[in-house]
Amino acid sequence: MEVLAESGMRGLTHRAVDRAAGLPPGTTSAYCRTRQALLTALVARLVARDQAELEEGGRRLPVLRDADELAGALAGFVRRRLTGEGRRRTLARYACTVESVHHPELREILLPRENAARDAVRAFLAAHGVTDPETRTLTLLACVDGLVFDRLVNGGDVAEEELRGLVTTALR
């Protein structure tokens, strides 16, 4: 993931992965014979790590009572995606998403999945009377993802007020 975050899709080579992982030359190619196999393995690993983070985060969340609490939870999520390891993983995931345009087999791996964090958002919207909480959840989370992408590309943070505005809109 560091290879992609630092040098983009062109930097994803067996040799670069071996170097980044501190492995002897040829180790990665023994497991992933082709570049496509390497890319597929990377995407699957990214998704697995994201899913684990979302499951854990969602399970730790208390029942969200109001828009401020949901906006606060989303703000924490966004901070993790914009800094440190989360930033590197997010940059790598976006590079893989763009690559999936040319490699449709990656799209299935990258599709949003059910997880405890998504369940918490959907439960919050349903508890507040939203008529189609599944669709609104997907829309709200896509908007949050768009803000993350924008800040990765253009710099800056996502203000909690922005997130509160998205939550308020989702509740209408």
CB atoms under 10 Å from CB of 86, counted, come to 18
Q: What confidence score (pLDDT) does residue 6 get?
A: 58
Q: What is the pLDDT of residues 66-113, one digit of tens each?
A: 999 999 999 999 999 999 999 999 999 999 999 999 998 899 999 878
CA nearest neighbour of 96 among 6, 2, 8, 28: 8
Contact at 8 Å (CB) between 113 and 51? Answer: yes
Prediction pTM value: 0.83
Q: Give the separation between CA 99 and CA 110, rounded to whole angstroms.
A: 11
Q: What is the pLDDT of residues 108-123, one digit of tens each?
A: 999 878 999 999 999 9
The residue behind tokens 């040829």 is: 26
Region 133-142 average pLDDT: 96
